[in-house]
Amino acid sequence: MASAVMKALVGGESGGYRLADDMDIPVPKPGMMLCRVHSVALSPYDAKIVDFSNTPGAVGGCDFAGVVVGVGEGVTRFKEGDRVLAVTFGLNASDKTAGAFAEYALATEDLSCHVPEKMSFAQASSMGLGIATAGLALFQAPGLNLEMSCTKPADENAPLFVLVSGGASGTGTMAIQLLRVAGYMPIVTCSPANNALCESYGAVACFDYRSSTCGADIREYTANNLVFVFDCVTDASTMRMCYEAIGSSGGRYVTLEAITTVVKYTRRDVRTDWLMTPTITGAPVEIPGSYGRPSTPEHRVFGAELFLLAEKLLKEGSIKNHPLDIKKGGLTEIPTYVNDLRIGNVRGKRMVVPLMAA
């Protein structure tokens, strides 16, 4: 490398992100790779973390794709020159070098995939966080804890439905795909305008979340047998709708934000919880309040299995990226795009920002 320093977007001392042009290029630790970042993707996490748990001087960002330029001790799956996608968790209080919004970023071997030659860096950069989030929500506790290979019920004609609320979101489309691969029957709520999109990812039925009878319609479609719900939207109205959809024998509901108790206790037969995706690193999540989490080693073990599976599915073409909105301007413009996420000005696509020419 020509320079020992790099440009990176870091937490600002007075809040928000700021561009730093003199950050030390990190050295890969054991089990990690140093990557030249070609593209990053933005997510609501990037807006929430900088607003509620900013770490001044820490590199931001979660999703990236690039080329390996150095490997740490013990790395065996990757070598210099490999194209990779990875998930990390920026603005990290315990490791300020973690983060994707930089010219160089550290990737964890266990939480990375080789990028197929036919896939662009822009496409690849949008996938890591969705894989991690949907994987934890579907196949681990406190998520739905489903089997990664569906065990058919005694009645072979009785499909095992899983409802994905917010199926047209980036996490939603990844959840749909992972459910189909595992042998489940994903049904979704979305806007009718997104029915075709969700069906293209594998949804077997779509329901209009704005309909006053949405929950009842799902319950009828599933013959009062729906047990599993993953809510990617997470507000009181969608939670209430999901509760109405769950069959009379009860079920499991998982979401991505703190749960409103007003709805939670309306049904004692529904096991309800929410998750924080950074637990997939196995390290404690050092975020104030209810968002903090203790070390979860079993999530790291699962993460290694999940990303190996994802790499295989990518190579086969069995999973694909969410629709993209490719933005210009590099690191400098990312704070503007994060603000678009903050105010809800982004719908239907993942924003991706290339940092290098394709």
Residues 88-105: pLDDT tens digits? 999 999 999 999 999 999
| Predicted pLDDT of residue 153 | 58
Helix (H, G, I), strand (E, B) or coil at 353: strand
Torsions phi, psi for 153 (to 5 deg)? -65, 165
Question: What pLDDT, on the 0 to 100 scale, is given for residue 3?
Answer: 65
More confident residue, 166 or 345: 166
- DSSP 8-state assignment for residue 113: E
Residue type, 287: I
Residue 229 class from Cβ within 10 Å (0-12 exposed, 13-18 middle, 19+ buried)?
buried
Instruction: Supply the pTM of this predicted model.
Output: 0.96
Residue 315 in this model has a pLDDT that exceeds 70: yes
pLDDT band at 347 (very low <50, low <70, confident <90, very high): confident
Q: Are 209 and 238 in contact (CB under 8 A)?
A: yes
103/86 Cα distance (integer angstroms): 14
| pLDDT value at residue 158 | 66
Arithmetic mean of pLDDT, 271-284: 96
Residue 29 DSSP code: P
Q: Which of 186, 130, 123, 189 is nearest to 159 (CA)?
A: 186
Q: What is the mean pLDDT of residues 266-289?
A: 94
pLDDT of residue 288: 82
Domains in the chain (CATH in brackets) are 5-129+283-354 (3.90.180.10), 141-274 (3.40.50.720)
The confidence score (pLDDT) of residue 289 equals 80
| Rg of the chain (C-alpha set) | 20
Q: Sorting pLDDT into bands at 50, 70 and 90, what band is 233?
A: very high
pLDDT of residue 321: 98
Residue 162: count of CB within 10 angstroms of its CB: 25
Judge contact between 208 and 156, C-beta under 8 A. no
Contact 190, 168 (CB under 8 A): yes
Taking only the tens place, the pLDDT of each residue in 165-201 is 999 999 999 999 999 999 999 999 999 999 999 999 9
**Given a cut of 60, is residue 1 above it in pLDDT?**
no
Structure tokens that stand for 277 in this block: 């995706």
Residue 157: pLDDT band with limits 50, 70, 90: low
Summarize the chain as % helix, strand, coil (round to 5). 30, 25, 45
Using the Cα atoms of residue 181, residue 184, residue 185 and residue 189 in order, give the sign of their dihedral. negative
